[in-house]
Amino acid sequence: MQRRHLLQAASAAGVFPGLALAEDKYPNKTINWICPYGAGGSADLRSRQLAKLIGEILGQSIIVDNKAGAGGNIGTEAIAKAKPDGYTIGMGNFAPLAVNHALFKKLNFDPSTDITPITLVERGPLILMVPADSPYKTVKDVVAAAKAAPGKLSYASGGIGGTHHLSGALFEFAAGIDMIHVPYKSGAAGTNDLMGGQVQMMFEQMYTAMPAMKGGRLRGLAITSKTRSPLLADLPTMGEQGYPAVEVLNWQGLIGPKGLPADIIKTLNTACNKALQDPDLREKMLGQGNEIAGGTPEQFAALIKAESPRWGKVVRDAKIEPE
């Protein structure tokens, strides 16, 4: 006991500086990981999987805290306004980082300046789906029907301003058609009504679409990625169907607040990239049809910078407003 007190006193006096550095080395306490969406969704699931792996790599516990609401804005704002010491990080998602700046009249954070991108985690395409008994067998069939009856065909989404909705709006512009957007409280609710025939079509996340397609309840017409998915090799891309502009990838990645020190960014980026090499996690991600990303903070920042004006234009042109 006396020896420990002497060492602590000596460290404080600068006699053993290495001891102080060891005690101050990041991370030396529990890290809080904010997920801006509710429990059970894809952002929550991936947050928990990554938090566990990154925590093991760093030798510290990482606790996931769900702060859902306002299209992901509440949780993302909490990350943006956190102390930049590396002990509050979280999941940065497509909508709050690249869409909501145009969708909402006022944001309490600026995605371009108040967020530190750390690592892009994944990207995932959507699939344009119709009921299994739909008369539409191709995207061209949909376009022909929509042009024959403007404002009659409907497409579902999991809410205003999300990837389901924006994919539909982008399709309308690309094809020169007018359809009815029907927003639901969740993607699952929209899919249920699609299977029931209450709506004609929906751009759905691949991990949700595949089971319904394989079960014979829904039919996929095209995928929104640039190339075909190896999991659905017979499904053409929107580009192959004549609409290359309808390329949509839902993405998410690890972020922190602005002002995060470079050494902490490097530590978290290295740990996240290592976690993305975990065989079990890779199997889960690839099995959902997602593209495993990784890479540098600069690459993630470049993606956000490129996506923001693109989706801002879609929001403004379609005159999309939040609920």
97-121 pLDDT, tens per residue? 999 999 998 999 999 999 999 999 9
Calculate what percentage of the chain has a pLDDT beyond 90: 85
Residue 175, domain extent: 125-232
Whole-angstrom Cα distance, residue 154 to residue 156? 7
Give the CA radius of gyration of the chain.
22
For tokens 């990837």, the residue is 163
Do residue 255 and residue 116 come from a single domain? yes
Q: Examine the fold and report which residue of 232, 262, 284 is the final residue of a domain before the chain moves on.
A: 232
Do residue 78 and residue 215 come from a single domain? no
For the segment 202-220, the average pLDDT, to the nearest whole number, is 93
Tell whether the model's pLDDT for residue 20 goes beyond 50: no
Do residue 133 and residue 83 come from a single domain? no
Do residue 46 and residue 87 come from a single domain? yes
Q: CB–CB of 89/268 below 8 Å?
A: yes
For the segment 202-224, the average pLDDT, to the nearest whole number, is 94
Q: Which residues pair with 33 in a beta bridge?
A: 64, 89
Domain assignment of residue 239, yes or no: no
Do residue 150 and residue 190 come from a single domain? yes
Number of domains in the chain: 2
pLDDT digits (tens, 9 = 90+) for 251-272: 999 999 999 999 999 999 999 9
pTM: 0.88
By the 10 Å C-beta count (0-12 exposed, 13-18 middle, 19+ buried), 173 is classed as middle
Do residue 51 and residue 137 come from a single domain? no
Tell whether the model's pLDDT for residue 21 goes beyond 70: no
Q: Examine the fold and report which residue of 232, 267, 288 is the final residue of a domain before the chain moves on.
A: 232
Domain assignment of residue 67, yes or no: yes
For tokens 């020190």, the residue is 261
- The per-residue pLDDT of the chain, averaged, comes to 92
Tell whether the model's pLDDT for residue 2 goes beyond 60: no
Q: Which residues in 132-184 belong to E strands, given as ranges?
A: 154-157, 180-183
Tell whether the model's pLDDT for residue 173 goes beyond 80: yes
Domain assignment of residue 190, yes or no: yes
**Res 4: pLDDT:** 45
pLDDT digits (tens, 9 = 90+) for 132-142: 999 999 999 99
In order of 6, 119, 274, the CA distances from 53 in angstroms are 37, 14, 9
Domain assignment of residue 177, yes or no: yes
pLDDT digits (tens, 9 = 90+) for 306-320: 999 999 999 999 999
Helix (H, G, I), strand (E, B) or coil at 57: helix
What count of other Cβ atoms lies within 10 Å of the Cβ of residue 166? Answer: 27
Tell whether the model's pLDDT for residue 187 goes beyond 90: no
For the segment 237-263, the average pLDDT, to the nearest whole number, is 97
For residue 255, report the phi and psi dihedrals to the nearest 5 degrees.
-135, 165
Q: Examine the fold and report which residue of 183, 204, 232 is the final residue of a domain before the chain moves on.
A: 232
Do residue 143 and residue 228 come from a single domain? yes
By the 10 Å C-beta count (0-12 exposed, 13-18 middle, 19+ buried), 10 is classed as middle
Domain assignment of residue 322, yes or no: no
CATH number at residue 272: 3.40.190.150
What count of other Cβ atoms lies within 10 Å of the Cβ of residue 255? Answer: 30
Do residue 95 and residue 156 come from a single domain? no
Element (H, E) at 92: strand 88-93
Helix axis angle for 42-58 and 262-275, nearest 10°, is 110
Whole-angstrom Cα distance, residue 59 to residue 38? 27
Domain assignment of residue 198, yes or no: yes
**Res 76: pLDDT:** 98
Domain assignment of residue 240, yes or no: no
- Least Cα distance to 172 among 221, 245, 250, 109 occurs for 245
Element (H, E) at 80: helix 73-80
Do residue 116 and residue 12 come from a single domain? yes
Do residue 212 and residue 132 come from a single domain? yes
For tokens 């004006």, the residue is 309
> 7 falls in which pLDDT band (50, 70, 90)?
very low
Do residue 144 and residue 173 come from a single domain? yes
Domain assignment of residue 244, yes or no: no
Tell whether the model's pLDDT for residue 15 goes beyond 60: no
CATH number at residue 166: 3.40.190.10
List the single range of 52-66, 76-90, 175-189 with lowest mean pLDDT: 175-189
**Res 23: pLDDT:** 58
pLDDT digits (tens, 9 = 90+) for 137-171: 999 999 999 999 999 999 999 889 889 999 999 99
Q: CA 139, 180, 193: angle at the middle one, nearest 5?
A: 80
> 44 falls in which pLDDT band (50, 70, 90)?
very high
Do residue 194 and residue 255 come from a single domain? no
For residue 115, report the phi and psi dihedrals to the nearest 5 degrees.
-125, 140
Whole-angstrom Cα distance, residue 275 to residue 196? 40
Element (H, E) at 305: helix 297-317
